[in-house]
Structure 1
Amino acid sequence: MNYVIGVDLGTSAVKTVLVDPKGKVAFEHSEAYPLSRPQTNWSEQNPEDWVKGTIVSLKRLMEVSGVEPSQVDGISFSGQMHGLVLVDGEGKALRPAILWNDTRTTAQCRKIEKTLGGKLIEIARNRALEGFTLPKILWVQENEPEVLSQAELFLLPKDYVRYRLTGDYAMDYSDAAGTLLLDVGSKQWSSEIAEAFNLPLSICPRLVESFEQTGTLLPEIAEASGLLPSTKVFAGGADNACGALGAGILGEGRTMCSIGTSGVVLSYESNKDLNLEGKVHFFNHSEKDAFYIMGVTLAAGHSLTWFKETFAAEKSFDELLHGVNDIPAGSSGLLFTPYISGERTPHPDANIRGSFIGMDSGHTLSHFTRAVLEGITFSLRESIEIVRESGKEITEVVAIGGGAKNEAWLQMQADIFGASIIKLESEQGPAMGAAMLAAYGAGWFESLGACAEAFIRPAETYTPNAEQAALYDGIFALYQDVYSQTRELNEKLALYRK
């Protein structure tokens, strides 16, 4: 039997999966690496940690599986979006990578808006947010000009890893769409945006489709990873685009909710001229000439992790969530907003912070836990409502990530979204999407849609409880008031953050 490998380069670890022609994950392996926060609002990683982790994970995957290297038909990638890697003429990273969750670039975002005005949305289809790549480049331009002067190219995280594995520079459209330098509709780098900030267009790598072959493994990489130098390597895609592939979001009306460190609501779009005025993101899909619209909650699963580590560190996640179903919807009047890292959709605000509102002496740990889950889900519903306002009907949502692992939370999503929630039989998220790109690129299937039919199988469906859904509609309206009621307070409190 032959296999493909999907590599998912995440924020905390790299995951590799070995997938057979029926979409079954035969083996998987993860390697963690550190995150650095050298200053307030900074978030960086050493690109070499990604490379080392990926090679080790591939080697462990091959060792544990016992699969012959000749049985691997291809490798492809999913990667954390927006992160800036600057490389010199020899391909050496010039500084630590600035990640998607780094928020130091507020001043650069305002500069982009002032310089480009309405042209930004017209060309890049997205607002200038701290997480995107162009603001990071401008930050380096202003604060480390000697670094930018040495830069031959900028790359995104997975593209740097793929370069180190193959010696080939490239960036796919789905990841390039998150840089603010791509003309999303015409699928080419925007000379107008680059020239507005005195950036040479030559700093942008060549653009490719996500399923396009971008070389084979370098001999030394093949030896270190236990694979063959002839192993085909395909470009891959942004983690959210790959997550969409892995959830079968490959046609109009298909919508996904992914809850990981961040939370994502993503819906397929075929109209390249759709302009939602920056209310949500509009990106190129990993499927050729397709797009997706997406809303993001910065601290989705991260809010739950923060809550557990701060207030129930001795408990496992299963223990923490055990009593949630015994708490009534609405958590007995306790409301949480998951703005603990700022927010992106629908409030692009780096200063806003989270709240617990309505606390009283009768609330227990389980009340707080349920309120955290509800608050995360309310935040994601804000994105769903924007998608609905664009004219799309959302009656089914495929759930992936941490939010798909707990039955109480899945039912909560159905009730809060007012839509059926579909849990998949094998939920591998972006890693599965990366494997699908390798499978399609290697010629296993005639289309990504055919690959999805073979790889993806629904397991359970959770339908809304009408009574609960009506109750949540009322609470959601209160949730939406919290941002405007606390924004000014948080702007003042920002002065005291250390």
Structure 2
Amino acid sequence: MLLLGIDVGTSSIKVSVVDSATQKCIASTQYPDVESEIIVKEAGWAEQDPETWWEHVQKAILRLNEQGTYNPLDIVAIGIAYQMHGLVLVDKDQRVIRDSIIWCDSRAVEIGDRAFNEIGHERCLSHLLNSPSNFTAAKLAWVKENEPELFEKIDQIMLPGDFIAMKLTGNITTSISALSEGVFWDFKENQLSKDVIEYYGFDKEIFPPTQKVFSSHGQLSKSVANTLSLKKGIPVTYKSGDQPNNALSLNVLKPGEVAATAGTSGVIYGVTDQLVYDPDLRVNTFAHVNYTKDVSRLGVLLCINGTGILNRWIKNNFLSKDGYEGMNREAREIAVGSEGLRVLPFGNGAERMLNNKIIGAQINNIDLNRHSQAHIFRAVQEGIAFSFRYGLDRMREMGIKPAIIRAGKANLFMSDLFIDAFVNSTGVPVELYQTDGSVGAALGAGIGYESFSSAEEAFANIKPIKIVEPKANTSYEEVYREWEELLIRELN
């Protein structure tokens, strides 16, 4: 039996087909070949057109079929991973009302902070495990306040993966995990949050029916099946935000296990069985993919908006041969610490880790007689690694103290220089796996379809391809302390 995984990213759509018998990926591709546009109508805003996601999903699947390595009619289930926290609104005819306000949009910070103050800090933290802050609930409230004529047209609200499932099946569902990432879920009452709904004045009818993450979220419609050369009626049996899904793809399901990713944004994600929260709101807690009302499994999520997006900006605006590989090659010629050059990578909207401050990306201490672009290439990757260390220290304060971190060999984790800086600044070994979000989504579909007797069986053949241990007596700790001092001065 074959499983199809779809990963709706900010930059592109990735799709993979996995053989459930071996858990091996037999085909994979992405679309488009260039990174998708983020619509920025005002400073701090970030939007994308959901219909563009759907167009790209279809083109990605058709491109995958063209590889000829499998029979599309052998696919039995579909799983979807998606960029978290995005707001998608549709009317009663399932037509998109406005562009999606996506995860890195900062417009609703004040609205969320006001709700946090008026509902009450202790109440929000103990029940929601978060402030409404800049999450989906606050974004919906922004639409209600600023676009009332559009708000009145809303029939259902969704996250990006819900929308793609709707386009595939015509059916709309949500899950506890999804509701929690939007800060709509009350963990103490185990229901949709009355505090949030009543404070913002939302009608409960705009929220889709709640299903388990691993369950049927609808069946592939005849017209879509014909377009994509798939069987009519294939179920969508898994939907998850990209970070819980990344953790799933790395078999991070039990308390104490930790995953990391470094794509457009950077994330460290640790699983716990405790209702923990950060009183300073720098780190967030959501329901993990295997959370139920009876078995508490939560993901403690550190998100850094400005990671891979900065490395991409550097690639696009400096004259390095051979793209990222050329940048890495030049950077390797520079010693640890980049001869005093320090980079703060926070140039992609309000950073939750920094209490929703916007300080911008910064290159500090440039010496025009000493520093070259190679120094900048290295300082960027070091600065990104240091931002992970800074955030991990906040997670350690919450009791998340990883003995090892698992990561897919993708994005910045393809750079040996970055891995070296990450491991030696955090002091934590990294296990690297040959997997990605679309493979995780396919395996999630298999769990939901009951192709496996358990989630553990789904990952029985997934082994690390490399383990990187911290080295003794590196200079990273000293360099990090200098970087941290620079950041603290900027925050104050």
TM-score, normalised via structure 2 length? 0.93
Offset at 1:93?
1.1
Q: Equivalent residue for 1:128? A: 132
Paired residue secondary structure (1:41): coil
Offset at 1:370?
1.0
For residue 473 of structure 2, the aligned residue among 453, 467, 478 is 467
Which amino acid is the alignment partner of residue 292 of structure 1? G
Moved more, 103-112 or 415-424: 103-112
Moved more, 9-18 or 26-35: 26-35
Offset at 1:155?
0.5
Aligned-partner Cα distance in 2 for 1:68–1:346: 45
Which amino acid is the alignment partner of residue 477 of structure 2? D
Q: Equivalent residue for 1:74? A: 77
Q: Equivalent residue for 1:317? A: 324
Give yes or no for contact 2:320–2:326 (8 Å, CA) kept in 1. no
Q: Equivalent residue for 1:386? A: 394
- Pairwise mapping of residues 267-282 of structure 1 onto structure 2 (< 5 A)? 267-271=270-274, 273-277=275-279, 278-282=281-285
Aligned length: 480
Offset at 1:60?
2.3
Offset at 1:103?
1.4
- Pairwise mapping of residues 48-447 of structure 1 onto structure 2 (< 5 A)? 48-118=51-121, 119-130=123-134, 132-271=135-274, 273-277=275-279, 278-289=281-292, 290-312=297-319, 315-360=322-367, 361-400=369-408, 401-424=410-433, 426-428=434-436, 430-447=437-454
Aligned-partner Cα distance in 2 for 1:392–1:241: 16
RMSD: 1.8
Change (3 A) 1:211 1:377: same
Change (3 A) 1:342 1:38: closer
Paired residue secondary structure (1:323): helix
Q: Deviations over 1:40-90 (max 9, x none)?
A: 222111111111211222222223235333311200100011111111112
Aligned-partner Cα distance in 1 for 2:384–2:67: 37
Offset at 1:185?
4.9
Give yes or no for contact 2:17–2:439 (8 Å, CA) kept in 1. no
Give yes or no for contact 1:341–1:350 (8 Å, CA) kept in 2. no
Give yes or no for contact 1:9–1:77 (8 Å, CA) kept in 2. yes
Which amino acid is the alignment partner of residue 405 of structure 1? M
Offset at 1:117?
2.0
Paired residue secondary structure (2:465): strand
Gapped regions of structure 2 (runs ≥ 5) = none
Q: Deviations over 1:78-122 (max 9, x none)?
A: 001111111111211111111111112233123222322212222
Q: Deviations over 1:106-157 (max 9, x none)?
A: 3312322232221222222123333x11111111111100111111111011
Change (3 A) 1:409 1:35: same
Offset at 1:313?
6.0
Offset at 1:301?
0.4
Which amino acid is the alignment partner of residue 134 of structure 1? A
Paired residue secondary structure (1:467): coil
Moved more, 354-363 or 474-483: 474-483
Aligned-partner Cα distance in 2 for 1:185–1:279: 21
TM-score, normalised via structure 1 length? 0.92
Paired residue secondary structure (1:409): helix
Aligned-partner Cα distance in 2 for 1:116–1:472: 43
Q: Deviations over 1:181-232 (max 9, x none)?
A: 1124554211221001111122211222211111210100000111011212
Aligned-partner Cα distance in 2 for 1:225–1:26: 18
Q: Deviations over 1:235-276 (max 9, x none)?
A: 3100001000111212222111200000001111122x2233
Which amino acid is the alignment partner of residue 456 of structure 2? G
Moved more, 246-255 or 178-187: 178-187
Aligned-partner Cα distance in 2 for 1:343–1:99: 13
Moved more, 170-179 or 185-194: 185-194
Paired residue secondary structure (2:251): coil
Aligned-partner Cα distance in 2 for 1:96–1:76: 24
Offset at 1:344?
2.4
Q: Deviations over 1:289-328 (max 9, x none)?
A: 3111011110100111112212236551101110322322
Give yes or no for contact 1:170–1:208 (8 Å, CA) kept in 2. yes
Q: Deviations over 1:433-461 (max 9, x none)?
A: 2111111112221111221223x210111
1:10 partnered with 2:9: yes
Give yes or no for contact 2:44–2:349 (8 Å, CA) kept in 1. no
Change (3 A) 1:390 1:39: closer
Which amino acid is the alignment partner of residue 139 of structure 2? K
Paired residue secondary structure (1:103): coil
Give yes or no for contact 1:153–1:204 (8 Å, CA) kept in 2. yes
Which amino acid is the alignment partner of residue 446 of structure 1? S
